[in-house]
Each structure stands twice: as structure tokens, then as C-alpha cells.
Chain A
Amino acid sequence: MRRTLRLLAATAALPFLAGPSLANMVYVSNEKDNTVTVVDSKSMEVVKTLEVGQRPRGITISQDGKFVYVCASDDDTVEIIDTASGEIVGSLPSGPDPELFVLSPDGKKLYIANEDDNLVTVIDIESKNVIAEIPVGVEPEGMGVSPDGKTIVNTSETTNMAHFINTDTHEITDNVLVDSRPRFAQFKPDGSEVWVSAEVGGTVSVIDNAKREVTHKITFEIQGLRSEQIQPVGIRITADGKKAYVALGPANRVAVVNAETYEVEKYILVGQRVWQLAFTPDGKNIISTNGLSNDITFIDTATDEPIKSVTVGQLPWGVVVAPN
């Protein structure tokens, strides 16, 4: 059972379905013009633009690919988009100002960070009910879920902690101090580590999930750039756990990190204010949202070279790729 869950979780964390380079729909939330842009991952062209609620940021998709969930931050709701029709078919109670969320590996629960109220809200997707509200630190933002679904990690931006929450009891079990303004938490596919980016601190803390301690701190240096301009945000780790990609915000680059040695191996220049990342299901591409250039960049994960940038809406924030 546990094995199955793990497998399922790995697919959720990084959908890795077989098949030669099928076209998948890429969904990009555009914070400033209240739209979601749909891009074909094979042709790398915009297919359509969907109108959504105000200030769309966090975005994710159900495992069957039927529904996209978008945090409409200024509407205090999570909208549900039917991927077949492109219509908004419902909403979930999110608590105030939802920014980022994560879907449980079984696809049944949504864990939402409510920035304004220092809470993590747990939603049962089927019944659309709030199951729990968990008080966390100031300005909760990043949300990560362990592959076994037993632990969620929330980062609070002013408190500068990663809060480990038991998903059975909905209680905080550990608080780990990280660097300034932690924005994103990402588990390794084997659940051994959680990587937490600190936007203002300029680092990624690697937290051992068993010890719940910071065991490594990854720093970034780019020639010609001041350290203040390097602001790590989104993180994605490959399914084999060997390589990580870190979006570096106003440094306009994605860092490629060896996830076994923690060495930065490469910086890929993409666009301005790189925010979030998503793999295509075959793992062959990773896509970055470039907020200030109003585009997304497809990167080839074999060569770690950018392939193409595609103009989307205004201030692209989050990105998710349909699993099918």
C-alpha cells in the first residue's frame, strides 16, 4: 500500500507518464490581467486565454487532468476550471488571500496558504468543505507535500520558518528556521529532503525530512549581478531526484543544481523576474514563468538550454502542465 502511495505521489509531484512527447496543455496564471493562458507544450504556441477571477497566482491540476485549480487571491477563492470546456465550473472556499497551494498526493485535499491571516486552510475537494485551519507564522506562502502525503510543509515569509504539519492531526510537529522570506517548499521525490527557497536571503535550504534540520544551504553567484538581485523562488526536482531547477526571480535565470552534491552547475538565462517552474509530464522540458517579460520559457532538460519563449498574459505567475 505504502509503495503504491509513493508511486502515486511521485506521479503527482512530477507527472511522468510514458509516451513520446505528446502534446500537453500548459496552464499559466497571469497575475495582472486576470487570465490563464493555455499553451500547447508540443507546438509551444498559445491555444487560448481563459478569463478567471482577480489576481490569479497559485495554479495546479487534478491528477486526471480534468480540473485546473487557480487561487484568485483578490477574490478570496479558489476557482475550478473544467479543462475540456475552459469554463469556470465552481469554486472552493479558500480563506482570505490564497496565494499558493498544494494538492494532496491522493488528489482529495487541497492545502492552501492564506497570507493575510497566518493560516493554512485544508479543503476537502469533493465536499468543498474546510476541514481545518492551522495557525502558522507570519505571511504563509510556500506549500509542499511529502510524497506519502503524511506531511505538508508551509513556509512563512516574515517568520522565516518552514512549518512541518502532520496531515492526520493537522498539527505542527516541527519548525525549522530558514533564511529571509522563504517562498517555496519542494520535497524530493523520495521524500528524504525538503528544499526551501529564501527570496530575500538568496539561498535554498535543504532540510532533512527525518531530522527536520537544515543540512545544506545552497547559495548562488552570478558574475555581474549583485547578491541582492538573486532571489530564489520556485523549485522543481527531477523524478530521479538528481537535478533541481531553481527560479532566481530578478536575476532572470533558472539555476540548475546537482541535487546529490548541491553544487550549482549552470544558470539558464530566461526572462525577467522568473517566478515558478513546471516540468512537462515526460520530463523533457521545464517551463519557467517570467513575470516582467510577460512570457514563459521552455527549457530542454537534456541540454539545459532554453528552447523557446512564448508570450502569455501580464505578469505570469504560476504554471502547471496537464498530465495527459
Chain B
Amino acid sequence: MIMKSTVPNTLVFLFGFFLLFVNVPSLNAQATQPDKSAKPALDVRIGYLRAYEPQLALSVLDIPPRDEGVAGANVAINDNNTTGKFLGQSFILDVTEAKPQADIVPVFKEMLARGDRFILADISAKQLLSIADLAKENGAILFNVGATDDSLREEECRSNVFHTAPTRSMLADGLAQYLVWKQWRKWVLLYGSHDGDKLYADAMRRAATRFGATIVEERLYEDKGTARRTDTGVIQVQKQMPVFTQNLPEHDVVIVADESEVFGSYVPYRTWTPRPVAGTAGLVASSWHPASEQWGGSQIQNRFAKATGRRMLSKDMQAWTAVRIVGEAVTRTKGNDPKQVEDYIKSDGFSIAAFKGQKLTFRNWNWQLRQPVLIGDGHGVVSTSPQEGFLHQFSELDTLGVDRPETKCKLN
């Protein structure tokens, strides 16, 4: 999916492009119906910089699909092009991959050289920081579609980095609001030994304090590098998890903080005392759910499934939203100048619709997208946060995550 060539300025190509991307049933109609109002073509390149290597998961169902995120961006490119054909605007996606630990500055420079100025970053926080200032020097805007690290919106925030991915604190707050609404206020926290696990545990601790829950005990699950998903492993796990959760004080719910997929998915149904599990396993907070059909959601779900052959995941939605934000800004400003697009996105009038029941806007103190958080399990959506009754003087969505008075972000 790497497209390095620039697009010729002809309608013929525009239609050729549709042949590549538009769903088959509408093809003939698309191609045979010349649109009188089409204007001369304006090309908009959107880059997708991705850190990828195959990941392990405790359940095969949780292994991220090869095109996670990129598929969402592609569907949004189609959507932008359907809109763009009425305005003579065509969008293309330029996907570049690197390893999660790699130095991405060289590949990023190549993207800049190819003319990418709107770039989705699906990379680690560290990698994102390695290119953020370079992007700014070159007049490029970054959309963080993957990293949930609060630090990227706080002490390490940047004026040219927009975040469509929610933060860990937004996810934790959304989950906590639901648990508190359920009156499940006594939590046990089981957390893993990797960095992401610890950060997620921190976010849950903060959420407990904010919303009046109590963590009655914490336990660390050390990753000793045992094999996942083996027959003997399952037998071990069945004995291991009850023991790991034995002799806990009285609690309503078990919170699991295991982003690394070392033990968390093994906790549900295996605890010593029968308790619901939430966090990174069991009941999970996320920016999207493959079963969400509310608020017109079935339309994007159908469109996505038809285009990709699988269900839409959170990262797909985060990437879809970022590409739609660029599309919306290009449509409204009638141009692809990065500065104008950035100014428009940062203006008070900007909002984006993303199947979450209300318009989404950016927090202007750190350019984090405000968004409801879906609370669901492996099967469906259980609830959506913010929960009723969690009030805010400006936007209820700001009850999720770090709010303006607490922010450490200083934009320059």
C-alpha cells in the first residue's frame, strides 16, 4: 500500500482511483456519471507512519490484524474521495512501516520528501517525540492515532500534534465512572511488570481517587517469559490464577492492568472469589467497539466490514477519525495548505462527527480529541462514558482524562 508517485491532475485518474478503492456495487454508477460540478483536481497526500511487528496475545482472537489502523485510514480516504469528487479534491494514503524499536527519523524524512504534510503517527511515544519537532520545522501536522500515553498530551505536548487516540487516563476515567455508577467501589488492582502495564495501573489509581473508589489491595504479576497459548500453559493457568487472587480483602471488582498481554486475559472466570474483572481484560474501555451500532454506527461498521472483511477496531476508528479531520478541513478551507488546515482544525468552529452521538472537538490546551469512551466486553457494548451525573462546567467529556486546570502542557 505504499504509494510514492504523485497523482496526475486529471479526472480520468480520479475515476481510476475510485476503481481501486470504491466498493464494487457502486462502481458503474461512479464511473459513468460525470459530475458537472467537479472542479480541477486538488491532491491531498496523507501519510501513515506505522511501527509494526507481529504481536502476541493470550487469545488468538486478540492478535491485532495485519492492517489494524491502516484499514480505518483507507476507509476514510474512500469517504474523503466520495466527498472530494464533488469538489475536485482527491486524497491518497502513503503508508510507511518501521519496527517498534527502530529509529524512524530516516523514514519520516523520506515521507516529508515525498510531500506528506498530514501524517498519521501510529508509533510509540518515544518515536513520536523523535519526529515531532522535525515535523514542525517542515510545516507538517501529526495525528497521533496509536499512543495512549498521557505524557504526550502533558509535559511532552506539541502544538503540531493532534491526538485522536484517547489517553490512558481518559479510558481509566470512563471505566471508573461506570464502576462507580454500578456502586462497585472496592477494587483490587492486579498489574503487570511492563511499562505500559504500570502506566495503565497509574491511570486506574488516579481514577479511583477522582471518582471515589478504593483500591483495597494491589498485586504485581511479574512477567517471567513463560510461553503463551500452550496446552500445558492452560492447565497451569487454571491453577495459577486462583492462587494469584487468593486471600484478597473484600472487594467488588478485580482491575487488571496488563497492556502487554502476559496474564490479564487469564483472570476472568479464574479468580479465587467470583468477581467481575475490568481494565485491560474483562470489561474494557476503548475509543470504539466492533459491535457499536448506536448513533449511525452500523453505517460505518457495514462500510468498514465490506471494505476489509473484518470488524472495525479502536485503532481503525482513531485513524478513520484523523483522516476525516483532514478531509473535513480540506473541504471547508477548499485547499491543502497545511497552515490553513491546521488553523481551521484549531479554530472554535471545528468539530467532527464520528458515530459517538455528539460532535467531537479538540481540547485547545493540548489538542487531545474529546470523545466518549465505550465500555464493552468481548461481545458487545455495555455502556458509554461519561456516565450521567458526572458533571462539568464546560463539557462532560472533560470529566474523562486530565482536565485544563491540571494540565502540565505548555503549548508554544
Contacts and interface: CB of A to CB of B under 8 A. Distances in A.
B83 interface: yes
Interface in A125-140: 133-135, 137-139
A226 interface: yes
Given A175-B37, A181-B353, A159 B82 contact: yes
Interface stretch (B22-30, B61-69, B235-243): B22-30
Contacts of A180: 351-353, 359
B316 to A, nearest CB: 15
A174 B395 CA distance: 37
Contacts of B82: 118, 137-138, 159
Interface in B290-322: 296, 299, 302-303, 306
A319 to B, nearest CB: 20
Interface string A199-232: 0111000000000000000000000001011010
B79 A158 contact: yes
Interface stretch (B52-60, B124-132, B185-193, B324-332): B324-332
Given A118-B26, A172-B86, A157 B352 contact: no
B103 interface: no
Contacts of B302: 97, 116
Nearest to A180: B353
Nearest to A159: B83
A271 to B, nearest CB: 18
Interface in B139-191: none
B246 to A, nearest CB: 45
Q: Could you say which of B23, B30, B37, B396 has the most chain A C-beta atoms within 10 Å of its C-beta?
A: B37
A203 to B, nearest CB: 11
B87 interface: yes
Interface string B331-372: 110000000000000000001110001110000000000000
A79 interface: no
Contacts of B296: 139, 157, 181
A192 interface: no
A200 B351 contact: yes
Interface string B363-400: 00000000000000000000000000000000110000
Given A200-B358, A226-B395, A228-B358, A172 B351 contact: no
20 contacts: A116-B303, A117-B23, A118-B26, A118-B82, A119-B29, A133-B29, A134-B33, A135-B33, A138-B82, A139-B296, A159-B86, A160-B83, A161-B86, A171-B35, A172-B35, A177-B331, A180-B351, A180-B353, A226-B396, A228-B395
Interface of B: 23, 25-26, 29-30, 33, 35-37, 79, 82-83, 86-87, 296, 299, 302-303, 306, 324, 328, 331-332, 351-353, 357-359, 395-396
Task: For the complex of A and B, list the 7 residue pairs with the smallest distance between their C-beta atoms, beginning with the closest.
Answer: A159-B83, A228-B358, A200-B353, A175-B86, A200-B359, A138-B79, A180-B353
